[in-house]
Amino acid sequence: GAFRWLHRDPVPGRRGNDAAVAPDGSLWAGTMRYDEAPGGGTLTRVTGDGTAEPFLTDVTVSNGIGWSPDGRRMYYADTPTGRIDVFDVLDGADGVDGARQAVNRRPLARVEAGAGFPDGLTVDADGCVWVALWEGGAVRRYTPDGTLDRIVELPVARTTACA
């Protein structure tokens, strides 16, 4: 088949960074500025027909994105904040105009200073969030209520992803 762009970022100096596919099949793609300028990144939802819907603006290094096993929570990391945030996901019946939405953003967990920065993340079958720590040499597991319950130390400093 032929190659077709679903979405091209129109802003010079900005690049893609992390992306994930939501339970509804949409692609959530994060961006950041090459110079990591604060507020220069975005998180955009791209539907199957190629429609791009900006979800978050004014982020710096848009990174880890994941969903709970039941699809009712979305997790997200904007790396320099040191936080892993959680959103409630409303399905088509609950969302505005029948659309699926992520609302009620709040911190799930914070990575303490000196321990690294949240980068890529994934969610396991128990609903726990595994987060790679850039400059932290570890992957951490947080329970759905934000409790840190496991740290896996690694022999590398710049851990970027976990699967």
The position carrying tokens 């960074």 is 17
What is the predicted pLDDT for the residue at 94? Answer: 54
Tell me the pTM.
Answer: 0.91
Q: In the structure encoding, which two tokens stand for residue 29, read together?
A: 């793609």
42 within 8 A of 59, measured Cβ to Cβ:
yes
Mean pLDDT of 105-115: 97
What is the predicted pLDDT for the residue at 85? Answer: 97
Q: Is the dihedral of CA 31, 79, 140, 101 positive or negative?
A: negative
Please state, rounded to an integer, the average pLDDT across all residues of the chain: 91
Residues in the chain: 163
Q: In the structure encoding, which two tokens stand for residue 139, read together?
A: 């992957």
The position carrying tokens 């911190």 is 107
Report residue 3's pLDDT band, with 50, 70 and 90 as the boundaries. confident
Active-site residue set: 119
According to DSSP, the residues that pair with 65 across neighbouring strands are 76
- CATH 2.30.29 assigned to domain 14-115? The reply is no
Give, in degrees to the nearest 5, the angle at Cα 63 between 150 and 25. Answer: 100
What is the predicted pLDDT for the residue at 122? Answer: 98
Q: What percent of the chain has pLDDT over 90?
A: 76
Nearest Cα residue to 142 out of 85, 97, 94, 87? 85
* Coarse DSSP helix, strand, coil percentages of the chain, rounded to the nearest 5 percent: 5, 50, 45
Q: What pLDDT digit, counting tens, does each position of 47-105 carry?
A: 888 888 889 999 999 999 999 999 999 999 999 999 999 999 987 655 544 456 789 99
How is residue 34 annotated by DSSP?
T
